Structure 1
Amino acid sequence: MKLYQITILLCLLSCDGGQSPAPASPDPANETGKPHYLALGDSYTIGQSVAPDERWPVILADELKKAGKPVATPEIIARTGWTTRNLLDALEQSPPTGTFDLVSLLIGVNNQYQGRNMEEYRIEFRQLLVKAIAYAGDDAGNVFVLSIPDWGVTALGEGNRDHISSEIDNFNAIAKDECDKLKIVFIDITGTSRTALNDPTMIASDQLHFSGKMYRLWVNQALSRVKQLF
């Protein structure tokens, strides 16, 4: 990988890119009585390099409305570059208030990128699942997890794709195992993310994250299962 690519990669994976941790506050008049949705994660959840309406939790909320199951505008707690530890720390410092009818979690790509220990990931990921259940009114049935997508298919992953893919699979195996133990729905979108290798429109302009077009595919894959959760 060339030096300038490495520099860009370090910035995009470790900086917040100016992204706010959540969309603009919704109009309370339009949110009354709607189920509340909390989305926890990293750059994929906050939608690095895509417009706010292209974030996958926002797309999901829109599709749920179309399916006759409207939810309030998602509360998103996510930052580009966050590991499981970063997300845990953020939740300790500023925990979300109230009870949520739906909680999602997508986290781990930065653990993989930073070479963090997989057993550490298991411990911290489980802690996040426990928190997610608590936010969902102690109901694991209202929580779902998306698998870690494979950033190795991007231009900045070129030259190291097999290694990245193998490690992503290992981290996802841990996530699925922990979800199974707590009876939390685990939705594997990693294979879908790998289709971007042959479709540049699935990649965002930064050449590292995914586009709104890819996020919509994740939502299409998850929608039928999510509709059954609340």
Structure 2
Amino acid sequence: MPLHYLALGDSYTIGEAVPAAGRWPAQLVRQLRTRGVVIDEPQIIAVTGWTTDELSAGMDAAALSPPYDLVTLLIGVNNQYRGRTAGEYRTQFTGLLHRAIALAGDRASHVVVVSIPDWGVTRFAREQGRDATQVAQALDAYNAIARDEAGRADARWVDITPISRRHPEQVAHDGLHPSAEQYALWTEAILPVAAAAVE
């Protein structure tokens, strides 16, 4: 039987402004298959603009079929964009993480938390006059929370934020979201962790 993969998130998971094949969950599945992993296409629960509470509501409304053999979770950029507090993020993120673990059959090692990229380095942020340092500091705080909670829960963690900072030019036509090429770099970082989760 093929393995089942659930990808939870927002615009970065649904791949806003890139073709469906360019989304990193789709690229991840292709790379896992090259390693001999028999895995279904990802079931993606993600909408551009979603915050942590909106993702939770989206999961409530979705047709889920647990247990999943791999669950990825990348969420929080819209909390930061809307100026929500780190304390609220910790509470809601932790709830999502434990839901993800339950959907993975209570196997925390099958859950991979992916860090939030830094949109403050993008052309969109510059055109909007956003303070790149302030955005970076806020996202670093959010990512520290996600990394901490993943560790507490024995879930896996992948930090793709440095990739986003090294490649600000690799964005889609909207000047904000990553291009398929940047998602390919994320996939390289996520692949060994996801492979370890399912092997």
TM-score, normalization by structure 1: 0.83
| 2:118 counterpart (150, 154, 167) | 150
Q: Is 1:101 the counterpart of 2:72 in the alignment?
A: no
The aligned counterpart of 1:43 is: 11
2:152 alignment counterpart: 181
Q: Highest CA radius of gyration, 1 or 2? A: 1
What code does the residue aligned with 1:169 have?
A: D
Task: Please show how residues 22-101 of structure 1 align to structure 2 within 5 Å.
Answer: 33-101=1-69
Letter in 1 for 2:52: T
User: How far is the alpha carbon of 1:133 from its aligned partner?
Assistant: 0.5
Supply the distance in 1 between the matched residues of 2:66 and 2:78 (Cα, whole angstroms). Answer: 28
Give the distance between the partners of 1:225 and 1:107, measured in 2 at CA. Answer: 18
Are positions 1:196 and 2:164 aligned together? no
* Cα offset, 1:95, TM superposition: 4.9
Identity within the alignment, %: 45
**Match for 1:166 among 105, 115, 137?**
137
- 1:199-210 matches, within 5 Å, as 200=169, 202-210=170-178
Q: CA deviation at 1:90?
A: 1.2
Q: Retained in 2: the 8 A contact 1:102–1:143? A: yes
Gaps of 5+ in 2: none
Task: Kindly indicate whether structure 1 or structure 2 has the higher relative contact order, using CA contacts under 8 Å at least 6 residues apart.
Answer: 2
Q: What one-letter code is carried by the residue in structure 1 that aligns with 2:58?
A: A
- Report the alpha carbon displacement of residue 192 of structure 1 after superposing the two structures with TM: 0.6
Q: Which runs of 4+ in 1 moved over 4 A?
A: none
Gaps of 5+ in 1: 1-32
How far, CA to CA, are the matches of 1:42 and 1:176 in structure 2? 18
Give CA deviations for 1:104-155 in whole Å, capped at 9, x if unaligned.
0000000000001111100100000111011101110110011000001111
Report how many aligned residue pairs link the two structures: 195
Are residue 219 (structure 1) and residue 165 (structure 2) matched?
A: no
The offset of 1:220, in angstroms, is 0.3
What is the CA–CA distance in structure 1 between the aligned matches of 2:133 and 2:121, rounded to whole Å?
10
